[in-house]
């Protein structure tokens, strides 16, 4: 046999080489002839519509464009967005496909020009919100609708420029993407926005109905008002005994703020004890030794390229700093890549052979002695890089946060690690949500977190390129606080004394109102309230609240009017608003201030949610005028229509545009391939072929 091979080796090599050449030449053709998995059916609707991989890929691109150009469109519908559901998996892409289909079927989606023409409208929408917020915060003073419109018109061009720049940045996000593609995506989003607006304006109002709706929402009562807070008296309340504080804590330890009138709750979210090691990119780069010969080689190779392709066109000395920076960046990337492999290997070696229960490993009793420690992993990185790449890096820093429980909010406040995130495919999972990955199925579907197992695949990374390899050591599930110290003794003590201060004010409310009534002035009532805690009108360490002049109290909200700088949130509550309207319901809506000066109306009300009392002196009714009604009729009807729609949807229980509702309405079915059987391409599948595929209802 060997003699035969030696004798004919040239012929065998020639034939083998020819066969390899044939395979090489035919490989592209074979690739083109083979079916593209992206053409396979992914989902079907009752009307025969089929979504394939390309459709989902386009939907993902469209959502990325919106996030780049105008991310506010991804907010819930109630906040002016499109309400795209991104709870899990490819829910966002499916929701976008269904909404786009309904908008297109309704004839509400135009061509790319529609998207481009929408930019000024979006800019004006942002400017309107900004002006409203600035006016509410007292940063600007708006005295008329004309001034408001002028302020919006001045601000809108700035946002139009921002949106136009965002469009330019979004262009080219995918290979071959043009500006027209970006505007076409915006045109689809505009169609969905129109769909919502058409739906929200379905209710019709008669003339009398519109007037009544306007009166309910816009008729107001002008008052001078003051909010006296229980927390202002906290320091004057005697410190309770340990038994008293424990009794108070026990009353609220299992509550959330929405469970009681005082909005006090000590139920704790899921919390963790965690540690991590950090691969600091800047430190690794700074420790890299520079090889001048390698730098020179890089410059020589670059100069052999055509001039327009050269990265370092200047002489070597002039370009050395740039070449060195690029060398450090590339070398640091190589080192961090190898370090990542070492850390993964350490973890894989530790868990090799362990059985699993679902997504979690079953840990042996001696796991505490077997598991890799962060300190050992850090040293393994240093030793491994030294042996494999002959490179020396600083020992990675290990941080341990095991002395107290950390909530998502606590983690977010930790520099570096708190701003890092895990990238899983096209999705981002931020480190502050690590506790949620343990308690939430949706979050766990993205990132599996098991206590005592290092999180190395993937690592978390921040904007500076630093990588974090964490271990969650212990988990404290959401539930009632364990003890006063679990919440913080200072927090519980402050709440106790604030409630006692509020109770003191409430007990004396009638007396305070009587003093204000006698003098037709709120100041004596404020002085009397301060004296309850040992303060005086002349001066005390107790904060003296100021009187807000000419607030406009309406059924649904309180406006600051023209004289007040802001409205205390405690006054903008149903308790206060209802008390004012109950006291003035028999008042002639055209009564002038002079009439009320002769028969003053003073209002006092306890506001438990704010742990405060509200005192008000009625100035005069402020009914909506015919001029204001005519000037704002369109806005009034839009607002009232939206309110009726929201109330109707509250009764129904779900929005007709939610992913669940649309999936059910369209008869959405997820196509699942049988093992070894490929789903049919969209343009070739038939009803008979689809019978061989398993389907299951997947309503989001």
Q: Tens digit of pLDDT for each residue in 509-525?
A: 999 999 998 889 999 99
Shared-domain flag, residues 335 and 261: no
What is the C-alpha separation between 82 and 79, in angstroms, rounded? 9
pLDDT at 239 over 80: yes
pLDDT at 676 over 60: no
State the residue for tokens 């839009």: 638
* Rounded percentage of the chain residues whose pLDDT exceeds 90: 30
The tens digit of pLDDT for each residue in 551-593 reads: 999 988 898 888 888 889 899 999 999 999 999 988 887 878 7
**Residue 422 resides in a domain:** yes
pLDDT at 307 over 60: yes
What is the C-alpha separation between 343 and 338, in angstroms, rounded? 9
Q: Which domain holds residue 341?
A: 271-476
Highest mean pLDDT: which of 147-161, 541-555, 572-586, 620-634? Answer: 572-586
Shared-domain flag, residues 365 and 281: yes
| Beta strand segments in 311-440, E | 356-357, 360-361, 397-406, 421-424, 427-430
Kindly state the average pLDDT of the residues 394-402.
Answer: 93
What is the C-alpha separation between 111 and 105, in angstroms, rounded? 14
Shared-domain flag, residues 496 and 421: no
Shared-domain flag, residues 617 and 504: yes
> Is the bond into 528 cis (omega within 30 degrees of 0)?
no
**3-state SS, residue 396:** coil
**3-state SS, residue 40:** strand
Kindly state the average pLDDT of the residues 79-89.
Answer: 76
- CA distance readout (Å), 406 to 135, 254, 400: 38, 19, 12
| Closest by Cα among 597, 593, 615 to 606 | 615
Q: Which DSSP symbol is given to 236?
A: G
Shared-domain flag, residues 161 and 256: no
**Residue 628 resides in a domain:** no
Q: Which distant-in-sequence residues (6+ apart) come within 8 Å of 84 by Cβ?
A: 63, 74, 92, 95, 96, 99
Q: Looking at 623, 654, 674, which one is the last position of a domain?
A: 623
Lowest mean pLDDT among 52-61, 127-136, 224-233, 559-568: 127-136
Tokens coding 429: 């999972």
**Residue 212 resides in a domain:** no
**Residue 635 resides in a domain:** no
Shared-domain flag, residues 462 and 509: no
Which residues pair with residue 356 across a beta bridge?
A: 361
Shared-domain flag, residues 18 and 80: no
**What is the pLDDT at residue 537?**
40
The pTM (predicted TM-score) of the whole model is 0.57
Shared-domain flag, residues 586 and 661: no
Q: Which DSSP symbol is given to 205?
A: -
Q: Is residue 605 packed enough to be buried (19+ CB in 10 Å), middle (13-18) or exposed (0-12)?
A: buried
pLDDT at 674 over 70: no
C-alpha torsion angle, residues 186, 192, 198, 199 (rounded to 10): -160
Shared-domain flag, residues 287 and 409: yes
Shared-domain flag, residues 448 and 507: no
**What is the pLDDT at residue 698?**
36
Query: In which element (H, E) is residue 559 found?
Result: strand 558-559
Q: Looking at 573, 596, 623, which one is the last position of a domain?
A: 623
The tens digit of pLDDT for each residue in 249-259 reads: 999 999 988 88
Highest mean pLDDT: which of 316-325, 488-497, 637-646? Answer: 488-497
Q: Looking at 448, 476, 504, which one is the last position of a domain?
A: 476
Shared-domain flag, residues 162 and 178: yes
What is the C-alpha separation between 190 and 120, in angstroms, rounded? 12
Query: In which element (H, E) is residue 619 found?
Result: strand 612-622
Number of Cβ within 10 Å of residue 566's Cβ equals 11
Q: Based on the structure, what is the number of domains in the chain? A: 4
Kindly indicate the confidence band of residue 138, based on its pLDDT and cuts at 50, 70 and 90: low
Tokens coding 188: 């689809």
**Residue 324 resides in a domain:** yes
**Residue 208 resides in a domain:** no
pLDDT at 535 over 60: no
More confident residue, 301 or 471: 471
**Residue 210 resides in a domain:** no
The tens digit of pLDDT for each residue in 406-452 reads: 988 889 889 999 989 888 876 778 898 898 887 777 677 778 888 99
For residues 73 and 81, is the Cβ–Cβ distance under 8 A? Answer: yes
**What is the pLDDT at residue 573?**
93
Pairing outcome for strands 612-622 and 41-44: unpaired
Kindly state the average pLDDT of the residues 245-268.
Answer: 91
State the residue for tokens 């500006």: 179
| Closest by Cα among 395, 394, 391, 413 to 404 | 413
Tokens coding 514: 């009587």
Kindly indicate the confidence band of residue 1, based on its pLDDT and cuts at 50, 70 and 90: low
| Closest by Cα among 147, 171, 392, 442 to 284 | 392
**What is the pLDDT at residue 695?**
35
Tokens coding 266: 């000590």
Number of Cβ within 10 Å of residue 355's Cβ equals 7
For residues 282 and 332, is the Cβ–Cβ distance under 8 A? Answer: no
What is the C-alpha separation between 573 and 484, in angstroms, rounded? 30
The average confidence (pLDDT) of the chain is 81
Shared-domain flag, residues 494 and 609: yes
**Residue 630 resides in a domain:** no
pLDDT at 541 over 90: no
| Secondary-structure breakdown of the chain: helix, strand, coil percentages, each rounded to the nearest 5 | 55, 15, 30
Kindly indicate the confidence band of residue 697, based on its pLDDT and cuts at 50, 70 and 90: very low
């Amino acid at each position: 046999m060997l003699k035969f091979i030696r004798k004919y080796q040239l012929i065998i090599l020639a034939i083998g080489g020819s066969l390899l050449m044939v395979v090489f030449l035919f490989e592209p053709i074979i690739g083109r002839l083979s079916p593209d998995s992206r053409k396979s059916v992914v989902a079907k609707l009752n009307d025969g519509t089929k979504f394939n991989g390309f459709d989902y890929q386009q939907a993902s691109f469209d959502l990325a464009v919106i996030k780049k150009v105008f991310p506010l469109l991804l907010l819930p519908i109630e906040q002016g967005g499109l309400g795209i559901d991104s709870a899990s998996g490819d829910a966002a892409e499916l929701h976008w496909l269904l909404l786009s289909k309904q908008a297109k079927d309704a004839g509400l989606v135009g061509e790319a020009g529609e998207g481009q023409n929408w930019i000024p409208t979006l800019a004006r929408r942002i400017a309107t919100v900004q002006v409203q917020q600035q006016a509410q915060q007292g940063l600007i003073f708006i005295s008329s609708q004309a001034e408001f419109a002028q302020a919006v018109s001045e601000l809108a061009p700035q946002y139009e420029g921002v949106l136009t720049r965002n469009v330019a940045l979004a262009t080219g996000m995918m290979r071959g993407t043009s500006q027209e593609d970006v505007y076409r995506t915006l045109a689809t989003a505009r169609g969905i926005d129109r769909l919502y607006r058409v739906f929200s304006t379905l209710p019709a109002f008669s003339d009398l109905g519109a007037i009544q709706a306007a009166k309910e929402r816009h008729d107001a009562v002008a008052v001078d008002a003051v909010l006296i807070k229980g927390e202002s008296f906290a320091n004057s309340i005697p410190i309770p005994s340990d038994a008293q504080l424990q009794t108070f804590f026990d009353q609220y330890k299992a509550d959330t703020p929405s469970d009681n009138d005082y909005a006090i709750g000590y139920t704790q979210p899921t919390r963790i004890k965690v540690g991590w090691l950090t691969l600091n990119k800047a430190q690794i780069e700074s420790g890299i030794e520079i090889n001048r010969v390698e730098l020179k080689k890089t410059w020589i190779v670059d100069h052999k390229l055509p001039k327009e392709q050269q990265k370092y066109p200047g002489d070597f000395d002039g370009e050395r700093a740039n070449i060195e920076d690029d060398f450090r960046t590339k070398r640091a990337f190589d080192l961090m890549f190898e370090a990542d492999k070492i850390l993964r290997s350490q973890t894989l070696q530790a868990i090799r052979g362990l059985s699993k229960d679902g997504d979690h490993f079953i840990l042996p009793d001696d796991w505490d002695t077997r598991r890799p420690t962060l300190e050992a992993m850090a040293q393994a990185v240093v030793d491994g890089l030294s042996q494999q790449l002959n490179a020396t890096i600083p020992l990675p820093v290990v941080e341990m946060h095991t002395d107290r429980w950390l909530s998502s909010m606590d983690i977010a406040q930790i520099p570096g690690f708190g701003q890092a995130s895990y990238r899983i495919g096209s999705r981002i999972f931020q480190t502050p949500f690590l506790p949620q990955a343990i308690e939430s199925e949706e979050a766990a579907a993205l990132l599996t977190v098991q206590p005592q197992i290092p999180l190395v695949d993937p690592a978390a990374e921040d904007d500076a390129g630093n990588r974090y390899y964490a271990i969650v050591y212990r988990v404290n599930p959401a539930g009632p606080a364990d003890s006063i110290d679990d919440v913080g003794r200072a927090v519980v003590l402050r709440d106790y004394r604030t409630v006692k201060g509020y109770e003191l004010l409430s007990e004396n409310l009638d007396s305070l109102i009587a003093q204000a009534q006698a003098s037709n002035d709120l100041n004596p009532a404020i002085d009397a309230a301060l004296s309850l805690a040992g303060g005086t009108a002349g001066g005390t360490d107790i904060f003296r609240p100021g009187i807000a002049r000419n607030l406009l109290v309406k059924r649904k909200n309180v406006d600051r009017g023209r004289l007040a700088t802001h409205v205390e949130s405690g006054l903008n509550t149903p308790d206060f608003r209802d008390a004012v309207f109950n006291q003035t319901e028999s008042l002639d809506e055209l009564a002038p201030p002079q009439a009320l000066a002769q028969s003053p109306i003073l209002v006092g009300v306890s506001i438990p949610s704010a742990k405060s009392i509200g005192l008000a002196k009625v100035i005069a009714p402020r009914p909506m005028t015919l001029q204001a009604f005519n000037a704002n009729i369109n806005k009034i009807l839009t607002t009232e229509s939206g309110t009726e729609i929201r109330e109707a949807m509250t009764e129904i229980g779900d929005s007709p545009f939610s992913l669940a509702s649309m999936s059910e309405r369209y008869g959405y079915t997820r196509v699942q391939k049988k093992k070894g059987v490929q789903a049919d391409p969209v343009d070739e599948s038939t009803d008979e072929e689809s019978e061989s595929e398993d389907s299951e209802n997947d309503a989001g």
